[in-house]
């Protein structure tokens, strides 16, 4: 196992994809008993006022409550402190060479029907699990 891994999840508004990613990462970290070993950062380049309601609803279907989450801005310095950063819709970020940047080309769930949001959610869940397999469990 790799110790002290910092994972970052960033999208434009920090109100959909990156919030789902961070929630799945927190769940995966807890399931694996890695609270002291894995840090999770999420933010946006142009944060919204609130997490998209359709995203809150889709996550609640899996008993993951993100209704209290607040979109926030994330700085380049914060992201440069990460081992891995998954970007969703903001791949123009310029980060240090030692940060492993993953461009997750995922559809924005904002305003989408519930079935589309579920599909996006399932894709994100799989990608987060894969990150843990790759970077956390060696």
* pLDDT-derived band at 1, boundaries 50, 70, 90: very low
* pLDDT-derived band at 18, boundaries 50, 70, 90: very high
Whole-model pTM? 0.93
**pLDDT given at position 77:** 95
Report the alpha-carbon angle 40-28-1, nearest 5: 80
**pLDDT given at position 81:** 96
Report all structural domains of the chain as residue ranges with CATH numbers, in order of start: 5-136 (3.40.50.2300)
Closest CA to 106 of 19, 41, 43: 19
* Three-class DSSP category at 75: coil
How much is the average pLDDT of 71-98? 90
User: Is residue 137 classed exposed, middle or buried when 0-12, 13-18 and 19+ CB atoms within 10 A define those classes?
Assistant: exposed
8 Å CB contact between 71 and 47: yes
Q: Residue 19 above 80 pLDDT?
A: yes
**pLDDT given at position 129:** 96
- What are the tens digits of pLDDT across the range 51-84? 999 999 999 999 999 999 999 999 999 999 999 9
**pLDDT given at position 35:** 87
Tokens for 27?
A: 């769940």
* pLDDT-derived band at 94, boundaries 50, 70, 90: confident
């Amino acid at each position: 196992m790799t110790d002290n891994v910092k994972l970052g999840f960033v999208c434009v508004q920090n109100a959909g994809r990156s919030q789902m990613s961070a929630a799945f990462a927190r769940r995966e970290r807890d399931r694996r008993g890695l609270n002291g070993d894995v840090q999770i950062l999420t933010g946006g380049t142009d944060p919204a006022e609130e997490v998209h309601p359709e995203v809150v609803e889709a996550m609640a279907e899996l008993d993951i409550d993100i209704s209290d989450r607040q979109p926030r801005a994330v700085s380049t310095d914060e992201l440069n402190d990460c081992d891995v950063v998954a970007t969703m819709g903001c791949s123009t970020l310029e980060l240090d060479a030692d940060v492993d940047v993953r461009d997750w080309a995922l559809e924005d769930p904002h305003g989408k029907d519930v079935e589309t949001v579920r599909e996006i959610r399932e894709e994100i869940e799989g990608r987060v699990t894969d990150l843990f397999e790759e970077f956390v469990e060696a």
